[in-house]
Chain A
Amino acid sequence: MSIYKLYYFNNRGRGEVCRLIFAAAGQIYEDIRYEDDQWLLHKDKILLGQMPVLEYNDIKLPQSRAIARFLAKQFQLAGKNDIEQAKVDAVVDTIEDLIEKLIPVFDEQNDVKREELSKKFFNEELPKHLQNLDVLLKVFGNGGSFFVGNHLTWADLYFYNFFETILGINENCLNNYPSLKQNRQEVEKQPKIAEYLQNRPKTSI
């Protein structure tokens, strides 16, 4: 029986970075995926009524980034010391700032309004945050392709996963950012990740 159990929906969303960390580490875990109707049956029993949740040695942990950071630390993918870990966290927070700008676009029910918000996202918010991420990669990356310290960390996996969603909507959005494009290519080339990407369920979000 696995000491790690991950509960999430059957899509990438806020669970996939954890799955990528397990894959990069070559760590076995129980990957519990709920379809929407199953979720309704379990929602009242799960900690805080939300997912993802990690169960580790029978203790439950909520909050996707808290889970991901814990797993990354367990498997040496969080950064080699406190300041490196802080740089990794800062990259993740900068990506998260962008994710938070996209959520209202997805949530908007009115088609006309959603189109307007989507335009604003792609024309204003996205370039601003890509510029910021480019700066961080250059300042923290020690001249390599990864965001921090010239080695793979969960910051690279976080970026990889979110941009899979964005590129699915607009496949050209990284064209002006060769370093960021290269970063994603380096992630895909990692053997354990390449294998995981080939075999995992395909979902658009």
Chain B
Amino acid sequence: MSIYKLFYFNLRARAEISRLIFAAAGQKFQDVRYERNEWLSHKNEMPLGQVPVLEFNGTKLPQSLSIARFLAKQFQLAGRDNFEQAKVDAVIDTINDAMMIFMPIRRQEDEMKKKELMKKFFADQLPKHLKNLETLGKLYGDGGPFFVGNHLTWADLYFYDILETLLYANENCLNNYAWLKQNRVEVEKQPKVAEYLKNRPKSTM
């Protein structure tokens, strides 16, 4: 029986970063995926009535990024000392800032309004965050292709996953960002990650 149990929907969304961390670490875990109709009967089992939740040694932990950071630390993918971990966290937060703008737009029900907001997102808002991410990668990356310290961390995995979602919405959004494009290529080349990407369930979000 696995000491790690991850509960989420049958989607990438807020759990995929944790699944990518497990994959990169070669760590077995129970990947519990609820379909929408199943979820209602399990909602009360979760501390805050939401998922993802990680169950570890009898503790149920909510909040996707807290879960991911914990797992990354367990498997040496969080950064090698307090300050490196802080640089990784800063990259994560910068990626997340972009996602926090995108998600309400994606949920917009008025098609005309959604189209307009998406245009603005990809033309104005996202470029600002991508530029910031390149700045951080060049400042913290020690000359290598990874965001921090010239080795893979969960910051690279999170960027990989979030951009997968954004590229589905606009396949050209990374065209002007060679460093960021190369970073994703390096993530895909990691053998355990490559194998996981080949075999996992496909979802656009």
- Measured CB to CB, the residues of A under 8 A from B are 47-48, 56, 59-63, 65-67, 69-70, 73-74, 82-83, 85-87, 89-90, 92-94, 100, 132, 135-136, 139
Contact = CB atoms under 8 A, between A and B. Distances in A.
Interface in B17-62: 47-48, 56-57, 59-62
A60 B95 CA distance: 18
Nearest to B56: A83
A83 B69 CA distance: 10
A100 B101 CA distance: 11
Given A56-B83, A86-B61, A86-B67, A62 B90 contact: yes
B63 A66 contact: no
B135 A136 contact: no
Given A56-B83, A63-B89, A85-B70, 11 more contacts: A48-B132, A61-B86, A61-B87, A65-B93, A66-B87, A70-B82, A82-B74, A83-B59, A85-B73, A86-B67, A93-B66
B89 A90 contact: no
A11 B73 CA distance: 33
B17 to A, nearest CB: 14
Contact-residue bracket for chain B: 20 to 34
Interface string B60-94: 11110111011001100000001101110110111
A62 B100 contact: no
Interface of B: 47-48, 56-57, 59-63, 65-67, 69-70, 73-74, 82-83, 85-87, 89-90, 92-94, 100, 132, 135-136, 139
A135 B47 contact: yes
B73 A82 contact: yes
**In terms of DSSP, what is the predominant structure of the interface of chain A?**
helix
A90 B63 contact: yes
B194 to A, nearest CB: 28
A67 B69 contact: no
12 contacts: A48-B135, A48-B136, A56-B83, A65-B93, A66-B90, A69-B85, A83-B56, A86-B66, A90-B62, A94-B62, A136-B47, A139-B60
A69 B83 contact: no
A87 B61 CA distance: 7
A135 B132 CA distance: 37
Contacts of A56: 83
